[in-house]
């Protein structure tokens, strides 16, 4: 009976050694940084051997998932080109000639050169227009006189129109002289060529469709068209 009890203790100690070795491997050798804290396992008694053996499967599973989650987020660059890009057509050389052309382009004012570091040039300051001095009445009158002199003398107003209306004429048989009828408002005048009407208008010529009348006061001659008697009234 004593040998059986010792053999049972040896088996329990062997199982504990296997569990301790597994914890050591999972937390030290399998960790990415290798700095994980080692668990301090208390020495179990003979009555806790079954509980320690059953906790082996419950403790090992979370450690495995934690290690898998760390490795999934690690950056692993790919050395292969993306699909659809032909690497044989890419020229890796630096085109210094194209870079020189871009640098030789002249920039407009107030623009920044992308090949030079520093702040953009400040725009030129706006000149002060200075103090505005109002003009005096004498200066205004002088400028008006200069403008009037440059425009020349004022033109005389046009002569007023003749108010007479010519609405017909008459001629006697055997008499070559014609007598015309003129209407001024409600007044009717009959005059021959060369005669005066209202001591102002001289009848120059009497025609079939018009009469030429001279305004002696303004020295102005106008042609009066023939107006029907109904329109003249």
Nearest-angstrom CA–CA distance, 232 and 185:
9
Please, what is the angle between helix 49-72 and helix 2-24, to 10°?
10
Range 79-102 average pLDDT: 78
Q: Under a CB-based contact definition with an 8 Å cutoff, are residues 189 and 197 in contact?
A: yes
77 pLDDT band (50/70/90 cuts)? low
Residue 164 has pLDDT above 90, yes or no: yes
Quote the mean pLDDT of the chain: 74
pLDDT digits (tens, 9 = 90+) for 10-64: 788 888 888 788 777 777 655 444 444 444 444 444 444 444 444 444 444 444 5
Q: In terms of Cα–Cα distance, which of 195, 165, 190, 194 is closest to 180?
A: 190
Residue 95 confidence (pLDDT): 82
Where do the domains of the chain lie? 2-72, 165-232
- What CATH number has the domain spanning 165-232? 2.30.30.830
Tell me the CA end-to-end span of the chain in Å, nearest whole number. Answer: 165
Range 173-196 average pLDDT: 88
Place of tokens 């630096």: 94
Q: Is the dihedral of CA 187, 190, 195, 201 positive or negative?
A: positive
Nearest-angstrom CA–CA distance, 40 and 137:
109
Residue 202 confidence (pLDDT): 95
């Amino acid at each position: 009976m004593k040998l059986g009890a010792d053999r049972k203790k040896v088996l329990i100690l062997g199982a504990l050694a296997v569990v301790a070795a597994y914890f050591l491997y999972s937390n030290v050798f399998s960790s990415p940084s290798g700095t994980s804290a080692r668990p301090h396992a208390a020495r179990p008694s003979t009555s806790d051997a079954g509980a320690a053996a059953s906790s082996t499967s419950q403790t090992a599973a979370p450690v495995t998932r934690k290690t898998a989650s760390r490795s999934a987020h690690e950056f692993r660059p790919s050395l292969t080109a993306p699909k659809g890009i032909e690497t044989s057509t890419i020229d890796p050389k630096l085109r210094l000639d194209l870079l020189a052309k871009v640098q030789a382009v002249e920039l407009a004012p107030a623009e920044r050169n992308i090949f030079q570091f520093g702040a953009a040039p400040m725009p030129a300051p706006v000149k002060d227009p200075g103090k505005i001095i109002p003009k005096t009445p004498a200066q205004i009158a002088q400028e008006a006189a200069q403008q009037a002199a440059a425009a020349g003398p004022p033109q005389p107003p046009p002569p007023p129109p003749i108010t007479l209306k010519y609405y017909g004429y008459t001629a006697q048989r055997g008499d070559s002289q014609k007598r015309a009828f003129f209407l001024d408002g409600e007044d009717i005048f009959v005059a021959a060529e060369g005669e005066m009407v209202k001591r102002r208008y001289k009848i120059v010529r009497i025609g079939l469709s018009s009469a030429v009348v001279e305004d002696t006061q303004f020295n102005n001659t106008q042609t009066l068209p023939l107006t029907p008697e109904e329109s003249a009234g």
